Amino acid sequence: MNKSELVTAIASRAKLTKAAAGRALDAFLDVVEGELRNGEKVSLVGFGTFQVVKRKARTGVDPRTRQKIKIKAKKVVKFKPGKRLAEAVN
């Protein structure tokens, strides 16, 4: 499912126009992005939790040359599914 399909599904289920559903989805994404950028985590009970974690620097291998390379430390977004979501997909 891509973004336009998601907007269509939200509009249908919430009985909104596609434009209103699109604005609501964009607002949701902006809020989540802003909170993660500020180091906060976003928890949606039953669905899951988004949070930023620090990944340490490490050594990797270039698959073409088989030479060792250094991979820099960075922050990554992690998602942990909630109980209801985990049960729904199993």
* Residue range 53-78, pLDDT digits in tens: 999 999 999 999 999 999 999 999 99
Do you know the residue count of the chain? 90
Residue 57 CA to residue 5 CA, distance in Å, equals 38
* Residue range 34-45, pLDDT digits in tens: 999 999 999 999
Query: What structural domains and CATH numbers belong to the chain?
Result: 3-89 (4.10.520.10)
Provide φ and ψ at 46, rounded to 5°. Answer: 90, -30
State pTM to two decimals: 0.81
Q: What single DSSP character describes residue 86?
A: H
